[in-house]
Amino acid sequence: MTQRVLTTESGAPVADNQNSATAGVGGPILLQDQHLLEKLARFNRERIPERVVHARGSGAYGYFEVTDDVTGFTRADFLSAVGKRTETFIRFSTVADSLGGADAVRDPRGFALKFYTDEGNYDLVGNNTPVFFIKDPIKFPDFIHSQKRDPFTGRQEPDNVWDFWAHAPEATHQVTWLMGDRGIPASYRHMNGYGSHTYQWTNAEGEAFFVKYHFKTNQGVRSLSSEQAAELAGRDGNSHQTDLLQAIERGVHPSWTLYVQVMPAGEAAGYRFNPFDLTKVWPHSDYPLQRVGRLVLDRNPDNVFAEVEQAAFSPNNFVPGIGPSPDKMLQGRLFAYADAHRYRLGVNHTQLPVNAPRTAVVDNYGRDGLHATRNGARHDKNYEPNSYAGPAQTGAALSAPLAIHGWTGTHEAPAHTKDDDYFQAGELYRLMSEDEKDRLVANIAGGISQVTRDDVIEKNLAHFHAADADYGKRVEEAVRALRED
């Protein structure tokens, strides 16, 4: 085998990679040692800012295959025919901890999926829960600050976590999910994924539908108890990364079946719950699951940094036939995700291989900026309209327009007939078995009992009482017993 030649960044051969250049034997190092300086400077810059949320992640490539006809609801090309396959990349993640955190922790999991479609990349950014803690993006920075490390103590503080939830009754539903049996997935392969937000589908006739995505794991849902998770996190902080990597490497390809709930757009205004409230679900009895296709993961990334850490997902990456809804949290994320990537990776992050379209041709007037690799030929113009055959608009909207009315201002979300903050949390509690309820109560009480302020404890207990009388009674008794120990 021919020996490859080590080179500098500029391609010049390296004469000695073992010894720095010095002024004589044993003398001080010379500033002119370009290879040394370049090597150290590059090493110092190997890390980029980690994500504020979803910092710790794992990823894999795969494909999505359509198994059922959904052309009556959407004209999206990648969903246009049974049997059609589209390459995908997925990133799983924890939410609150830093890049160095453990995988086996009680935390929602990110479920971010990129479809490399023929009409451009479509990003579906969701979680492993169908709901979230808040319904308005203006509260998101405050919520995340309450869950992250305290500025003074440098650790996650129960006082901060539960104080925020005490003042956010809409979080009761998601807290019930998080503290329940599914709060700590056994692996990324053994959890469901949800689009969580409400999206819009538009068919070829221009009819609009609102949809929710459900990815049901074909491996079966498996979760860890708090005790199992603590033991696993201490033994292998990379447990979920290891599981995903090794499963795919040995040919065990995890898969999920995609279902959607479909609501004709005209039914949204009169629905009993606000269909655009991220703290609410649509009961399946109202809008049954309809199967769409199958997601399969069959290839690991070659480089975690290049393909997992530099992967950029943004919910505003739509394709014809799919668009946003008035979901306020979604509306906020349409800006926030892309802006986070511009900060972390630069304005040209979409040109990185993991983020670039596979088959669709990118042709626009974006130029320059850090790491620009696509600036056009010498006669290409960087303005529009022009007389030089540059790319032009199609005039065809990706999705149907959303009707609006009323006055501008800061408004609370419109109330529907059953739009309180506790009803669905109580419904979820009442669905649980007695053993599930016991574990849920123990997990909640374990957290609240660490809070130092009585008023914060009382405010949180009131939420559980409002959701279900038995729920509140059992949590209150469990908290009291722990605090008296």
Question: Which residues are the active-site residues?
Answer: 54, 127
Distance CA 383, CA 473 (A): 65
Distance CA 328, CA 334 (A): 10
Parallel, antiparallel or unpaired: strands 199-202 and 193-194: unpaired
Using DSSP's 3-state secondary structure scheme, residue 127 falls into strand
Parallel, antiparallel or unpaired: strands 193-194 and 109-117: unpaired
Residues linked to residue 57 through DSSP beta bridges, in sequence order: 93
Which residue, among 122, 113, 138, 140, has the nearest Cα to 53 in the 3D structure? 140
C-alpha separations of 284 from 64, 214, 248, 287 in Å = 24, 11, 33, 5
CB 261 within 8 A of CB 77: no
In this structure, what token pair is assigned to residue 31? 């500033």
Which residue, among 57, 75, 46, 66, has the nearest Cα to 307 in the 3D structure? 57
Non-local (6+) Cβ contacts of 398 within 8 A are 318, 319, 320, 321, 322, 323
C-alpha separations of 31 from 20, 42, 405, 451 in Å = 10, 16, 67, 56
Estimate the crossing angle of helix 434-448 against helix 469-484, to 10 degrees.
Answer: 50
In this structure, what token pair is assigned to residue 437? 């309820």
Let me know if 156 is exposed, middle or buried by CB neighbors in 10 A (0-12, 13-18, 19+): middle
Task: Give backbone dihedrals phi and psi of 109, rounded to 5 degrees, phi first.
Answer: -115, 130
Residues linked to residue 29 through DSSP beta bridges, in sequence order: 22
| Cα torsion through 68, 69, 73, 76, rounded to 10 | 90
Which residue, among 180, 146, 182, has the nearest Cα to 164 in the 3D structure? 146
Alpha helices in 113-225 (DSSP H): 140-147, 158-166, 172-179
